[in-house]
A and B are shown apart, each in its own frame.
Chain A
Amino acid sequence: MSAPHKPLPAWADVALIPLVNVAAAFCISGLVVTAIGENPFEAVRLLLVGALGDLEGVGFTLYYATSFIFTGLAVAICFHAGLFNIGVEGQAYFAGLGAALACLYLGFLPGCTLAFVAILAAALFGAAFAAIPGYLQAKRDSHIVITTIMFNYIASALMGYLLVDVLRAPGQMNPETPTFPLGGVVPHFHDVFARIGVKWPVTPFNLSFLIALAAALGVWALIWRTRLGYEIRTVGANPTAAVYGGVSPARITILTTLLSGALAGGMAVNVILGEEHRLILEYTAGFGFVGIAVALMGRAHPVGIVLAAVLFGMLYQGGAELAFDRPKISRDMIVVIQGLVVLFAGALEHMFRAPVATLLARRAAGPPI
């Protein structure tokens, strides 16, 4: 057991180690593809063509990326406070209820005010659902990991009940709400572009992307440019020291989980208000968990998160096309890659530190004689 934290030059710490980790995840993924009898290089080519080959692919890629930016930010903001929020999936799901209720019951609101109210409702519901685990962690010392896992299942059961027995449109077989009025819809980019005379294929890509970028900027400003952000980072680094500095870890824990839940609600804005225009059963489809991979890969920094989210957007869109061309490489491959990224960029993040440090030291010392 050698000490895993050897000093490294800053550039290696910020760029090289994360790259090596992610590369390891993709190498293993390549081996998996080879093992099931397909050519990994061909798979990468098909994946890239599917994700970026035409404007339609790009539209889908950015649509998925929008969800991942939100869920990634939601996980990351908790990382800064030393909290692990596994409940983004449930929070995003519950946020969909807020958006749906606003659209279905406040339809009288004029013009696009409904959309703004629905966005606020999504954030509010997401935050409310995160509030209970946050409160329990802060005040009753119940571990947020366990409570948020439980809350994912509670969300699933609650929403299942509401969609099947309460909110389902009359005469509708599928467990989903009626379609929202137009005022509650976040416009698609192809409609917006058409209005200014630019042709863009019909894709789910919608204006939520801009909200996601704004949220990323907001999180950056919050974490590194405000007093609250400083307090969040202090509690994350050392809660005991935070108390001596006059910061209440309980208050910060609750505030951070509220913000995290609100960010998770952004996914409802993208999918429910931006694309589906109705609330559907299990609409989150595991994207809340992708947020964990995105946050770890992006090293909890908004710039990293946006980049990682676009990469995962490419994987999801390109992966769908790839599965179509090569049925053996089903979409489950993307979940494998995601897991391997979490493993290498998260759990084993220090594994390559010692070898890299040795290598760099040897190079600095010149070639051995």
Chain B
Amino acid sequence: METFDAFIVVFGSGIRLGVPLILACLAGLWSERSGVVDIGLEGKMLVGAFAAAAIAAFTGSAWAGLAGGVCATVFVSLVHGYASIDQRANQIVSGTAINMVADGLTALIGNAIWSQGGRTPQIPATALFNAIELPFAQSFGVVPILGPIYARLISGHDLVTYFAFALAPLTYWALYRTRFGLRLRAVGENPAAVDTAGISVRRLRYSAVVICGVLVGLSGVYLSIAQAAYFQPHMSAGKGFIALAALVFAKWRPWPALATCLLFGFLDALSIRLQGAILPVIGPVPVQAIEALPYILTVVLLAGFIGKATPPRASGVPYVKEV
């Protein structure tokens, strides 16, 4: 029973750590499927988290915070879109720039407003996305095995978490079952063909970039006003890059993206849980090894040793319309 409890605890925290990854990873998926490579997820996550925390702190409303966070990241996404689509820039350079500006600017403004080294004040519980108890969680919770799973793993998360989980099927449906999705995927593989069919490559790519901004904004919102109750500088702590790794690992597909992000979230939870623990045979656990696992797995996958991760063919390539 004790191991089962531990299992529930680690999985629960794995879900909480996986949510920002899911949102950011699916954001990246939308962008990259349209041919716009986005290594600026990390920076946008920070912008979203900062704007959400700042606005929630000023207005006292979680929804205003959400709107502010999402608007801010959509703006940053549009800058990336302008550079990538209209200016035909190197998208890696543009993403790098966004990461740097976001990292510096959020800390700078936070420090200028609150003078706490970039940290926002604690945001009151009324301005946060709080845990929602699903119906019958209390009464069903006493049932062995299934009860705790329902009451403590499935119930008791906030709205953003439930949205993140709904997002994978939603993305799958939109990309593979709608006309817009088909065109969007086509524009990431062969924009010239889409252009020949009389559909605007530019417009499709801008839509993808905006969707990416909304979703990665939500991951930032989750970080600062759902998981935590404040913003602090560099709080995304590489999650944007793990999401990028997960995207590669999932080979740019929605369902595997959800699974990979949960796996990486679980690994993260495990490394926290095993801090200082001594396992039989292995001895003290080098926590860093578990922390590095997502990155190592991704490199091994990229090297083509387990399957082959092939990005959308036109990703990173600016489209030049024929004249």
Which of A's residues lie within 8 Å of B, judged by CB? 1, 4, 32, 36-37, 84, 86, 132, 136, 140-143, 145-147, 149-151, 153-154, 157-158, 160-161, 165, 289, 292-293, 296, 327-330, 332-340, 342-343, 346-351
Q: Which listed residue (A36, A147, A327, A350) contacts B87, Cβ 8 A?
A: A350
A149: which B residues are within 8 A, CB to CB? 39, 241, 244-245
Interface of B is mostly: helix
Contact mask B76-101 → A, CB, 8 Å, 1/0? 00010001001111101110111111
Which of B's residues lie within 8 Å of A, judged by CB? 39, 79, 83, 86-90, 92-94, 96-105, 107-109, 111-112, 115, 117-118, 202, 233, 238, 241, 244-245, 248, 286, 288-289, 291-292, 295-296, 298-299, 302-304, 309, 311, 321
Residue pair A336, B87 in contact (C-beta under 8 Å): no
Q: Which listed residue (B89, B118, B298, B299) contacts A346, Cβ 8 A?
A: B89
A327 and B248 CA atoms in complex are apart in Å by 41
Question: Chain A's nearest CB lies how many Å from the CB of B34?
Answer: 17
A329 and B108 CA atoms in complex are apart in Å by 7
A333 and B106 CA atoms in complex are apart in Å by 10
Please name the residue on chain B nearest to A136 by beta carbon: B303
Q: Which listed residue (B39, B100, B309) contacts A335, Cβ 8 A?
A: B100
Question: Chain A's nearest CB lies how many Å from the CB of B131?
Answer: 31
Question: Chain A's nearest CB lies how many Å from the CB of B108?
Answer: 4
B202: which A residues are within 8 A, CB to CB? 1
A343 and B102 CA atoms in complex are apart in Å by 12
Residue pair A347, B87 in contact (C-beta under 8 Å): yes
Question: Chain B's nearest CB lies how many Å from the CB of A46?
Answer: 16
| 12 A-B residue pairs with CB within 8 Å | A1-B86, A136-B303, A142-B299, A145-B92, A146-B302, A150-B245, A158-B288, A293-B100, A330-B118, A335-B103, A343-B98, A347-B89
A110 and B38 CA atoms in complex are apart in Å by 51
A146 and B32 CA atoms in complex are apart in Å by 13
Residue pair A36, B112 in contact (C-beta under 8 Å): yes
B299: which A residues are within 8 A, CB to CB? 132, 136, 142, 147, 150-151, 154
Apart from A158-B292, A343-B83, A346-B93: 6 A-B pairs, beta carbons within 8 A: A37-B112, A84-B90, A151-B295, A327-B115, A340-B101, A347-B87
A146: which B residues are within 8 A, CB to CB? 244-245, 248, 298, 302
A361 and B107 CA atoms in complex are apart in Å by 43
Residue pair B288, A343 in contact (C-beta under 8 Å): no
Residue pair A145, B39 in contact (C-beta under 8 Å): yes
A293: which B residues are within 8 A, CB to CB? 100
Please name the residue on chain A nearest to B43 by beta carbon: A339
Residue pair B101, A336 in contact (C-beta under 8 Å): yes
B289: which A residues are within 8 A, CB to CB? 157, 161
Interface of A is mostly: helix
| Contact status of A336 and B108, CB under 8 A, knowing A146-B244, A346-B93 | yes
Q: Which listed residue (B118, B244, B296, B311) contacts A154, Cβ 8 A?
A: B296
Nearest 4 Cβ contacts at the A-B interface: A339-B100, A335-B104, A339-B101, A347-B94
| Contact status of A157 and B104, CB under 8 A, knowing A36-B112, A142-B302, A328-B111 | no
Question: Chain B's nearest CB lies how many Å from the CB of A80?
Answer: 14
Residue pair B104, A292 in contact (C-beta under 8 Å): no
| Contact status of A154 and B292, CB under 8 A, knowing A147-B302, A347-B83 | yes
Question: Chain A's nearest CB lies how many Å from the CB of B201?
Answer: 10
Residue pair B104, A153 in contact (C-beta under 8 Å): no
Please name the residue on chain B nearest to A335 by beta carbon: B104
Residue pair A339, B87 in contact (C-beta under 8 Å): no
A52 and B210 CA atoms in complex are apart in Å by 44
Question: Chain B's nearest CB lies how many Å from the CB of A91?
Answer: 15
Residue pair A338, B100 in contact (C-beta under 8 Å): yes
B109: which A residues are within 8 A, CB to CB? 36
| Contact status of A332 and B93, CB under 8 A, knowing A149-B244, A150-B298 | no
